[in-house]
Chains A and B, each alone.
Chain A
């Protein structure tokens, strides 16, 4: 993490960066609050670094399964009214959303 402020291991800039990636508009008060909270979470996980994992291969999956595949066959899709049932807004048979052209 970059330029830590005070005792927090996560900087205000980190919070702003992550908020921006998630498209969250945070107030200055929220940024400060989340900076403390995220720092606490981060430090808690930092404790794991104390363990010696030199001899342990990286793990991507904790469930002991592999090669789970299905045959390439088509099954019926959802009915159109069900597809659009939860749409925040619709126009004809399409979902209508606010424009996000610039990000």
Chain B
């Protein structure tokens, strides 16, 4: 799209994220929440089947998780919250309603600030509320043409937290950046896997495009079916362009509608819905007493709040003197940050650890598509290798080779060095002997040096390295050469 057209319009995006919480049991009953790991319909009970007379009871851990999320998103935690029934009949919701929250959710008026590299803007968070996931339907068309659905209730009642943003997001890129930031936070909190691919985190977006110089209208398009952050970005970009083209035509034919993202064709397609579809007739859930969380209870949750990415990054910069870039990189995930801190404690040289992690370790992990948790090099093993460089046991150059072997085999630096005779020669007497031989064999270079061509020493260092197959300690070689040449 031409820049001129882009600048004529502004894009308004609000996001809704559903986040499955990592609890042992379900939201309102004691069935296992491991819905995918169990065969269909084996972790269900009268509560999650919606049988008459079954009564829900709130899982306290869920409330902890959502309150913790609210704190991490700078939200207010109102002292009074309640659950409501959201009514709609569908086979994956056997009660005929979903237990959700309407007007008194657990968290309100939060905000989240994006990283500098993502524009650094602060996005308002309207609310975070708690609800239950639905059963899983599989739609089948039989050979006879008959269409029916199969329903597995394992997922019915799994705790699902919904985060709703203000319409503060101004571009598809910013929407994806917000999603990644939110995912980073729920992973830091340890309350969700945050995986979009398996539905543990799902995103719906409301988007509309308006002339930059006019007030906003009230049409919006809800986009669903985006299963990755890349899909979020692509779908919203498609929708932004589609709406801009309609506005450019001079005849605004847009309507408020739901459109589904089709990954294969790379477009959004209108999903025909009747206007009554959103008439949910919410009313208070009579089976669940409201929650009035005491100050002590809330403060107890606050004490469990781990250090969050932004605070950790600041601390890494202050405590370890890391650059903004390295600190961002090393606080991407809690596992990575923990690895860094453990290795730094062992190596007593945080900057060296940061360098090895950012230049070597992350690159190798990226190439192999693995996570820090899968890494064969333990933090202690990396620390040991760095200590060996500092003691002169191996040179920096050798360490590159040793590191690669550690990454591939999981062997320690000491073992690799011993097995392959890689140890650096730092023995002064041994090196003095080699230096003497090199000087004797290269009179021309020695003469150049004595005539003031100081750079000739580089050639001589190179010859010592060649003689030792790169294992000589370059600092000592330099020193021995200087000494020997001065004596000449």
Other A-B contacts than A84-B41, A93-B152, 4 sampled, CB-CB below 8 A, are A68-B288, A74-B24, A92-B150, A96-B149
Q: Is B284 a contact of A60 with CB atoms below 8 Å? A: yes
Q: B148 near A: Cβ within 8 Å? A: yes
Decide yes or no: A78 and B82 within 8 Å by CB, A60-B290, A70-B30 being known contacts: no
Distance between Cα atoms of A60 and B31 in the complex (Å): 28
B139 CB contact (under 8 Å) in A60, A66, A86, A99: A99
B132 to A: closest C-beta gap in Å: 15
A-contact 0/1 string along B43-75, CB 8 Å cutoff: 111100101000001111111000000000000
Decide yes or no: A69 and B30 within 8 Å by CB, A17-B276, A77-B45, A80-B42 being known contacts: no
Q: B138 near A: Cβ within 8 Å? A: yes
Decide yes or no: A74 and B90 within 8 Å by CB, A61-B82, A67-B293, A97-B148 being known contacts: no
A15 to B: closest C-beta gap in Å: 13
Q: A101 near B: Cβ within 8 Å? A: yes
Q: A65 near B: Cβ within 8 Å? A: yes
Q: Is B292 a contact of A66 with CB atoms below 8 Å? A: yes
Q: B462 near A: Cβ within 8 Å? A: no
Q: A63 near B: Cβ within 8 Å? A: yes
Distance between Cα atoms of A63 and B288 in the complex (Å): 10
Chain B contact residues, CB within 8 Å of chain A? 23-25, 30-32, 39-46, 49, 51, 57-63, 82, 87-91, 104, 138-139, 147-153, 272, 274, 276-277, 279, 281, 284, 286, 288-293
Identify which of A19-27, A30-38, A46-54 touches chain B. A19-27
Interface size class of A (residues with CB under 8 A): 35 or more
Tell me which residues across on chain A come within 8 A of B42, comparing CB atoms.
77, 80, 83, 93
Question: Can you report 22 residue pairs joining A to B where beta carbons are below 8 Å apart?
Answer: A20-B276, A21-B279, A61-B290, A66-B291, A68-B288, A70-B60, A72-B60, A72-B61, A72-B62, A77-B42, A77-B43, A77-B44, A78-B45, A78-B46, A94-B138, A94-B152, A95-B41, A95-B151, A96-B149, A99-B139, A100-B149, A102-B272
B165 to A: closest C-beta gap in Å: 26
Chain A contact residues, CB within 8 Å of chain B? 17, 20-23, 60-61, 63, 65-75, 77-78, 80, 83-84, 86, 91-103
Q: Is B151 a contact of A97 with CB atoms below 8 Å? A: yes
Distance between Cα atoms of A67 and B62 in the complex (Å): 13
B99 to A: closest C-beta gap in Å: 13
Q: Is A68 a contact of B58 with CB atoms below 8 Å? A: yes
Distance between Cα atoms of A95 and B94 in the complex (Å): 11
The residue in chain A whose Cβ has the minimal distance to the Cβ of B43 is A77
Leading 5 A-B pairs by shortest Cβ distance: A72-B61, A75-B30, A60-B284, A65-B289, A69-B60
Tell me which residues across on chain A come within 8 A of B25, comparing CB atoms.
72-75
B24 CB contact (under 8 Å) in A68, A72, A80, A97: A72
Q: Is A101 a contact of B147 with CB atoms below 8 Å? A: yes
A30 to B: closest C-beta gap in Å: 18
Tell me which residues across on chain B come within 8 A of A93, comparing CB atoms.
39-42, 152
A56 to B: closest C-beta gap in Å: 16
Distance between Cα atoms of A86 and B1 in the complex (Å): 57
B31 CB contact (under 8 Å) in A67, A77, A100: A77
Distance between Cα atoms of A71 and B91 in the complex (Å): 29
Tell me which residues across on chain A come within 8 A of B284, comparing CB atoms.
60-61
Distance between Cα atoms of A23 and B88 in the complex (Å): 10
Distance between Cα atoms of A69 and B130 in the complex (Å): 14
Decide yes or no: A21 and B149 within 8 Å by CB, A66-B290, A73-B24, A73-B25 being known contacts: no
